[in-house]
């Protein structure tokens, strides 16, 4: 039994193939080899810690550095830094070109390390894979063109250059609208005003009927909203401006300040010095746009106003809400003006200056938009289940995601020179903002006049694509 349980190992004949890459054609040494005993006592001396300590004391580091190590943090010597001019401590707007000798020091980490040798015809630097690839390429060229392909190999589809034609691009765009609205699809011949879209495939129709997330297939859409312009919220200018503060503009930090919903920003007049500097930068940019950057919008200062309390903010929000049923109630006013009529008083808070300003090209006014979802069913449900009686009924009848075009984005920061002057750090600087400073505003909410209605009707006509489109009764 023991003999039958043993496994007999078979011997296989193997050949070891060794390829010599570097051949040594030198003759052998004339004498016989002999091992010599060479003392290496000095290695212990140089490898001891004491040698490194003595070397550090005897050879000081030859570095000349100032007291601040090249990074000054004392702002006393910086010209104009306490007057609001921070140009001396800021990086230059135009970055100077890098010196050719410094480009080597600015290489990314991916380029550091051992150099990558490229096969350039040098025999002893060429690797084995290069030789094998050359051999495979030579065999492929010598083989007939009808070489059978493997079952898993796919042939590359030829590129259809006609798809880049502008007419085909337009047909592809029309196809998307035809899939979304098949009843309105145009199926006639191409005319000046109408063009027939491309035929949709069943897979494209199925993707529209049952949309799936491109990455997370387990997600399901909850609802669908058509994207439409809000014609009832068109402004006199036809667009909106997004304003952001770099710091909290109020003293309330533990909760949201509802007064910010009805805050007022009043642009101030540019001083002659600031306006002349802006004109010089604009002229330099127009003369040489390569070496000069665009100065952007004029650096206007803004005066910020807020109501005195939350009650005034809530009442003012009701007056501004065209859907609120109590908006015409004059008892909402919290103060009286000089003529004895009701007003809302907004008090001056502080002066802000433009820190960053991004203007969007007027030819691409809808490049950035703000969206607001509106669902009449949800509005009705909210009116039925709200505990208070302040629910509003919107005049918008359709369910849609209304968009509002944004033409400019501004970031505001507190006016540095004035704030430092208030703290007593610098001397007071008088400018034109102080001349036209207003301590408080009396705000009265009224309906639009004919001029404002005409401006908004013109912008509605541009959105609808119909000249002369007007809507009366706007507020």
Residue among 58, 417, 473 nearest 271 (CA): 417
466, 458 contact by CB (below 8 A) = no
445, 319 contact by CB (below 8 A) = yes
C-alpha of 93 from chain center? 20
Q: What local confidence, expressed as pLDDT, does residue 304 receive?
A: 92
Q: What local confidence, expressed as pLDDT, does residue 259 receive?
A: 92
Tens digits of residue pLDDT in 413-425: 888 755 455 555 4
300, 363 contact by CB (below 8 A) = no
pLDDT of residue 235 exceeding 70: yes
Q: What local confidence, expressed as pLDDT, does residue 428 receive?
A: 45
Concatenate the DSSP letters of all residues of 209-242 into one string. Answer: HS---SS-TT--------EEE-GGG--SSSSEEE
The single-letter DSSP state of residue 361 is P
Tens digits of residue pLDDT in 157-208: 555 556 677 888 888 888 988 888 888 888 888 887 888 888 888 888 888 8
Helix and strand numbers (H, E) in the chain are: 12, 9
- 119-124 average pLDDT score: 52
pLDDT, greater one: 229 or 435: 229
* Neighbouring residues of 394: CB distance < 8 A, sequence distance ≥ 6: 323, 374, 376, 379
Residues 329, 315: Cα–Cα separation, whole Å: 10
pLDDT, greater one: 130 or 339: 339
- Give the burial string for 69-82 (b: 16+ CB within 10 Å, else e): eeeeeeeeeeeebb
Instruction: Categorize the per-residue pLDDT at 344 as very low, low, confident or very high, splitting at 50, 70 and 90.
Output: very high
Residues 459, 80: Cα–Cα separation, whole Å: 46
Residues 260, 241: Cα–Cα separation, whole Å: 16
Instruction: Categorize the per-residue pLDDT at 306 as very low, low, confident or very high, splitting at 50, 70 and 90.
Output: very high
Residues 189, 195: Cα–Cα separation, whole Å: 7
pLDDT of residue 240 exceeding 80: yes
Q: What local confidence, expressed as pLDDT, does residue 417 receive?
A: 58
Residues 161, 434: Cα–Cα separation, whole Å: 65
Percent of the chain clearing pLDDT 70 (strictly above): 75
Which secondary structure element, helix H or strand E, spans residue 279, and what is its range?
A: helix 272-287
Percent of the chain clearing pLDDT 90 (strictly above): 7
Least reliable range by pLDDT among 90-94, 188-192, 317-321, 370-374: 90-94
């Amino acid at each position: 039994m023991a003999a039958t349980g043993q496994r007999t190992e078979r011997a296989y004949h193997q050949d070891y193939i060794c390829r010599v890459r570097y051949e040594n054609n030198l003759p052998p040494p004339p004498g016989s080899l002999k091992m010599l005993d060479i003392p290496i006592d000095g290695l212990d001396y140089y490898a001891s810690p004491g040698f490194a300590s003595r070397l550090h004391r005897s050879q000081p580091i030859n570095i000349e550095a100032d007291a601040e190590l090249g990074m000054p943090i004392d702002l006393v010597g910086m010209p104009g830094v306490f007057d609001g001019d921070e140009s001396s401590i800021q990086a230059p707007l135009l970055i100077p070109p890098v010196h050719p000798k410094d480009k080597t020091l600015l290489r990314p980490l991916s380029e550091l390390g051992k150099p990558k040798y490229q096969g350039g015809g040098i025999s002893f630097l060429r690797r084995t894979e290069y030789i094998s690839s050359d051999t495979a390429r030579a065999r492929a060229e010598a083989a007939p063109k009808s070489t059978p392909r493997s079952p898993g190999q796919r042939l590359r589809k030829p590129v259809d250059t006609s798809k880049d034609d502008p007419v085909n691009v337009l047909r592809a765009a029309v196809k998307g609208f035809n899939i979304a609205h098949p009843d309105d699809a145009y199926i006639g011949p191409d005319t000046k005003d109408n063009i027939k879209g491309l035929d949709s495939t069943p897979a494209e129709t199925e993707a529209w009927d049952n949309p799936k997330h491109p990455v997370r297939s387990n997600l399901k859409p909850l609802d669908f909203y058509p994207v439409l312009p809000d014609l009832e919220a068109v402004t006199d200018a036809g667009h909106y401006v997004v304003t952001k503060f770099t710091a909290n503009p109020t003293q309330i930090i533990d909760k949201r300040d509802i007064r910010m919903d009805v805050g007022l920003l009043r642009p101030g007049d540019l001083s002659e010095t600031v306006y002349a500097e802006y004109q010089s930068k604009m002229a330099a940019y127009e003369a040489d746009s390569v070496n000069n950057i665009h100065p952007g919008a004029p650096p206007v200062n803004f005066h910020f106003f807020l109501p005195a309390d939350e009650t005034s903010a809530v009442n003012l929000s009701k007056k501004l809400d065209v859907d609120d049923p109590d908006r015409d109630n004059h008892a909402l006013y919290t103060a009286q003006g000089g003529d004895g009529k009701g007003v809302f008083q907004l008090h001056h808070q502080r002066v802000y200056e433009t820190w960053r300003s991004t203007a969007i090209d007027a030819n691409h006014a809808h490049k950035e938009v703000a969206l607001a979802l509106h669902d009449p069913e949800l509005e009705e449900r909210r009116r039925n289940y709200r505990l208070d009686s302040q629910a509003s009924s919107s005049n918008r009848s359709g369910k849609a995601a209304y968009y509002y075009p944004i033409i400019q984005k501004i970031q505001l920061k507190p006016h540095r020179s004035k704030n430092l002057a208030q703290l007593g750090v610098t001397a007071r600087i008088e400018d034109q903002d102080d001349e036209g400073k207003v301590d408080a505003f009396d705000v009265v909410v009224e309906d639009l006049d004919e001029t404002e209605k005409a401006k908004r009707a013109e912008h509605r006509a541009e959105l609808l694509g119909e000249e002369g489109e007007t809507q009366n009764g706007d507020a």
